[in-house]
Amino acid sequence: MSSTKSGGINIVGPSNVEPPPQPPPPAMYQLDIVLKKGKGLAIRDRTGTSDPYVKFKIAGKEVFRSKTIHKNLNPVWDERVSLLVETLRDPLYVKVFDYDFGLQDDFMGSAYLYLESLEHQRALDVTLDLKDPQYPEHNLGSLELSVTLTPKEGDVRDAVRNLEIYNNSDYSFISVFSCIHHKSSFLGESLLYFKIKSITSLH
């Protein structure tokens, strides 16, 4: 095993240690949700009421849980959450439960919000009808949400600003601008290539 130093970084090798996992790809959309209220939710307690709370899942991963509203079939949450979403193919899965202290919480219904159907950069009021997949004919009430889906282009703008700082010619900036304009699928690779080209052109 040998050890060298390059640019202030110690390089030790060879090694059988597996490289660290790669970070996930950058999120491409921001999904802003306001969980407003529920209406006519299902009764799950002996007292003729429920203690509802809401969960959001995307691609099987829980991304939000609301507070519990006790003894109310028409709860008002007014809770906000902002989510970073990599793809619109996976719908937002919404589930409602009745909280039971010390016991398993009771299922009160679920619904899907299909992100591909949302208009971009516009707040939309959405009503989700809650259903039980095992008894789809049952009416389990509804949830009211406000949702806004915004494409994330901040990383692109930051890269362009970096190019403007380092660039000595118009070629790199024009090429990047063209990629942004056409929203190329290889935008990230193009930005990296042109950024490196701009920096190295100074030397």
Tell me the pLDDT band of 51, cut-offs 50, 70 and 90: very high
90 contacts 63 by C-beta, under 8 angstroms: no
Does 71 share its domain with 158? no
- Asked whether residue 6 is domain-assigned, the answer is no
The answer, yes or no, to whether residue 166 has pLDDT greater than 60, is no
What's residue 100's pLDDT?
Answer: 93
Q: What is the CATH number of the domain that holds 80?
A: 2.60.40.150
Does 81 share its domain with 168? no
Does 92 share its domain with 183? no
- Asked whether residue 91 is domain-assigned, the answer is yes
Domain limits at 183? 154-200
Does 50 share its domain with 142? yes
Tell me the pLDDT band of 191, cut-offs 50, 70 and 90: very low
- Asked whether residue 24 is domain-assigned, the answer is no
What is the number of structural domains in the chain?
Answer: 2
Does 112 share its domain with 42? yes
What's residue 10's pLDDT?
Answer: 47
- Please state the length of the chain: 203
Q: How far is CA 19 from the centre of its chain?
A: 27
Tell me the pLDDT band of 13, cut-offs 50, 70 and 90: very low
Three-state SS at 41: coil
Q: What is the mean pLDDT of residues 127-144?
A: 96
126 contacts 111 by C-beta, under 8 angstroms: no
Q: Among residues 23, 10, 21, 75, which one has the least CA distance to residue 49? A: 75
Does 94 share its domain with 168? no
The dihedrals phi and psi of 177, each to the nearest 5 degrees, come to: -60, -40
- Asked whether residue 69 is domain-assigned, the answer is yes
Does 164 share its domain with 73? no
Between 113 and 20, the more confident residue is 113
pLDDT digits over 79-119, tens only? 999 999 999 999 999 999 999 988 899 999 999 999 999 99
- Asked whether residue 17 is domain-assigned, the answer is no
Does 121 share its domain with 77? yes
Q: What is the reported pTM?
A: 0.64
- Asked whether residue 15 is domain-assigned, the answer is no
Of the residues 151, 167, 190, which one is the last residue of a structural domain? Answer: 151
Which of the residue ranges 3-12, 25-34, 96-105, 142-151 has the most confident prediction, judged by mean pLDDT? Answer: 142-151
- Asked whether residue 20 is domain-assigned, the answer is no
Q: What is the mean pLDDT of residues 59-85?
A: 97
Q: How far lies 111's CA from each of 36, 140, 150, in Å?
A: 15, 11, 22
97 contacts 117 by C-beta, under 8 angstroms: no
Does 66 share its domain with 136? yes
- Asked whether residue 11 is domain-assigned, the answer is no
Does 41 share its domain with 141? yes
Host H or E run for residue 164: helix 154-166
142 contacts 40 by C-beta, under 8 angstroms: yes
